[in-house]
């Protein structure tokens, strides 16, 4: 399995790529008109895993990574690949 950040339309998604090739988003960072927002996904409800008051994208990425959300979904310790992957092509015109 791999763990990495992928560029998306308005920010970044923290993605786990499974051994079967499936990509699962476990967190994200968005740049909005109001600032930078971050969320570490969870199986339940935990409003403490989201923040709208971050000053940099790097701070937002660290906020998400500190929760290790991949453990909630896969139960496996992983290191985040520091290279940010480009936006994935969908093939749609």
Along the 93 residues of the chain, how does pLDDT read in single tens digits? 999 999 999 999 999 999 999 999 999 999 998 899 999 999 888 999 999 989 999 999 999 999 999 999 999 999 999 999 999 865 444
Domain boundaries, the chain: 2-76
| 14 and 7 Cβ atoms separated by less than 8 Å | no
68: left (phi over 0), alpha (psi -120 to 50) or beta: left
Residue range 48-68, pLDDT digits in tens: 999 998 999 999 999 999 999
């Amino acid at each position: 399995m791999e763990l990495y950040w992928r560029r998306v339309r308005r920010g970044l998604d923290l993605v786990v790529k499974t051994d079967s090739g499936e990509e699962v988003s476990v967190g994200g960072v968005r740049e909005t008109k109001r600032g930078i927002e971050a969320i570490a996904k969870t199986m339940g409800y935990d409003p403490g895993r989201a923040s709208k008051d971050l000053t940099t994208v790097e701070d937002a990425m660290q906020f998400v990574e500190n929760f290790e959300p991949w453990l909630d979904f896969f139960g496996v310790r992983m290191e985040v690949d520091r290279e940010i992957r480009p936006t994935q092509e969908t093939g749609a015109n």
